[in-house]
């Protein structure tokens, strides 16, 4: 897995080739400008793609990541590159969703994080995967992830 030294520059603001795999992708973090406040940061990634490790067919999902940061925020360009690195990677829905959540928790050490992977059906059945870590601080408002249960998802 590619590691960055503490002095390595962020990918933000410079050309960054797409990583070939999630193992090669680097997630950057930046300082939280409001470490004294509990708030939710949300990333919605409506075009997540991963390859089925058995059939090689693409699987498509909407990923929604919510977290309450401590000292660090994930830098969004690096997150986009990381999530796009799954395009040619073979993994089951559960492995992707939980693995992404664990990687973000390891990097950011947030107070709370949840990820929802809302996969479009193949073979007539959608598989949705949900994972969370930490404890939601009291009084923090977290909106619903707002991805409809499968009825065409449109």
Give the whole-angstrom CA distance, residue 70 versus residue 1. Answer: 25
Is the pLDDT confidence value at 5 over 70?
no
Predicted confidence band at 122 (pLDDT cuts at 50, 70, 90)?
A: confident
- State the catalytic residue, choosing from 52, 66, 96, 128: 52
Residue 110 lies in a domain: yes
Residue 28 lies in a domain: no
* pLDDT value of residue 14: 87
Residue 53 lies in a domain: yes
Residue 144 lies in a domain: no
Residue 83 contacts residue 107 (beta carbons within 8 Å)? no
Residue 11 lies in a domain: no
Would you call 86 helix, strand, or coil by DSSP? coil
Helices (H), 43-92: 76-84
- State the catalytic residue, choosing from 28, 59, 66, 96: 59
Is the pLDDT confidence value at 4 over 60?
no
User: How many Cα atoms occupy the beta-carbon half-sphere of 153 within 13 Å?
Assistant: 15
Higher pLDDT, 9 or 117: 117
Residue 25 lies in a domain: no
**For the chain, how many structural domains are there in total?**
1
Structural domain of 94: 33-134
Is 52 marked active-site?
A: yes
Residue 146 lies in a domain: no
- pLDDT tens, residue by residue, 54-105: 999 999 999 999 999 999 999 999 999 999 999 999 999 999 999 999 999 9
Is 59 marked active-site?
A: yes
Give the whole-angstrom CA distance, residue 58 versus residue 122. Answer: 9
Strands, DSSP E only, in the chain?
29-31, 41-51, 58-68, 72-74, 112-119, 128-134
State the CATH number of the domain containing residue 69. 3.30.1130.10
């Amino acid at each position: 897995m590619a590691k960055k030294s503490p002095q390595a520059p962020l990918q933000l603001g410079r050309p960054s080739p797409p990583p070939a795999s999630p193992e090669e992708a680097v997630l950057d973090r930046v300082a939280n400008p409001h470490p004294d406040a509990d708030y939710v940061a949300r990333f919605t990634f409506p075009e997540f793609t991963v390859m089925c490790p058995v059939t090689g067919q693409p699987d498509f999902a909407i990923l929604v990541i919510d977290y309450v940061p401590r000292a660090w925020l994930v830098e969004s360009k690096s997150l986009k590159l990381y999530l796009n690195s799954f395009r040619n990677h073979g993994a089951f829905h559960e492995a992707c969703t939980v693995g992404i959540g664990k990687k973000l928790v390891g990097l950011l050490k947030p107070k709370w994080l949840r990820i929802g992977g809302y996969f479009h059906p193949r073979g007539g059945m959608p598989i949705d995967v949900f994972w969370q870590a930490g404890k939601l601080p009291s009084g923090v408002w977290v909106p619903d992830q707002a991805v409809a249960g499968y009825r065409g998802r449109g």
